[in-house]
Amino acid sequence: MILQSDDEFVRCPGDMEPGTENEESQPCQLPDTGSMLFAHKDKIIHCLTIIGQVEGHYLLSDRSKTTKYEHILPLLVSIAQDERIDGLLILLNTVGGDVEAGLAIAEVISGLRKPTVSIVLGGGHSIGIPLAVAAKRSFIAKSASMTVHPVRTTGLTLGVPQTFEYFRRMQDRITNFVVENSGITPERYSELVLNTGELVTDVGTILDGEDAVREGLIDSVGTVSDAIDALYELIINQ
């Protein structure tokens, strides 16, 4: 738990009850969700990590690093309802994953009334892009990258017009969300998605940190410290 005053505290689910041992003031870590609470100056911030592959309705291999949406969605709701939590910091290092699961998480983040800041560390690829832009302020590390590409699928696919229409509509959902939550235009985003001159065996574009900012996807290049400072500023100015 993290002490706020002599008689107030913020505890994560699963913490020991007050009065039991190991009650020292320290960040609370939740291994299952990769999240923790910490204090910055006089504010309480919840730090959430989205890593590896965003897992959808089907379980991935035990050897894969995954972010499970059934863990993240209720956690985000609890953050929204807990008046003791002042803001949300999101650390992203993801290869992408299930489109609907990723969009579900992104929609909840964008709908939070509390200040939110995201930072892409390593990579924020594919469905990681909507997750990055969903926050009210977004950062990307200078060494990080983001891969923009069309929706794709694995397994059996029927070669009928309805299949292609389904993919087009799903891509439109992603494009519309990204455009509404960032500074890029729909025309430019579509150009990046359908670029055939960069990836050898795929369609799309790889953006490094400065390119992502230049294109309007991300607000700023920065570090975790920059993201925390920006979140604190959002909190005190809300």
Phi-psi category of 97—alpha, beta or left, where left has phi over 0 and alpha has psi -120 to 50? left
145 touches 208 (CB < 8 A): yes
Q: Quick check: 136 and 115 in contact, CB under 8 A?
A: yes
Is residue 228 within 8 Å of 46, Cβ to Cβ? no
Q: How far is CA 37 from CA 65, 168, 222, in A?
A: 22, 40, 22
* Annotated catalytic residue 125: no
Handedness of CA 222, 226, 227, 230 (dihedral sign): negative
Q: Which residue, chain included where needed, has tokens 């929706």? A: 151
Round to whole Å and give the CA distance between 114 and 208.
29
Does residue 126 have an active-site annotation?
yes
Given the residues 35, 118, 126, 182, the one annotated as active site: 126
φ, ψ dihedrals at 115, nearest 5°:
-60, 135
CB–CB of 108/130 below 8 Å?
Answer: no
Nearest to 226 by CA among 144, 146, 138, 143: 138
Catalytic residue among 149, 182, 190, 220: 149
Active site residue ranges? 126, 149
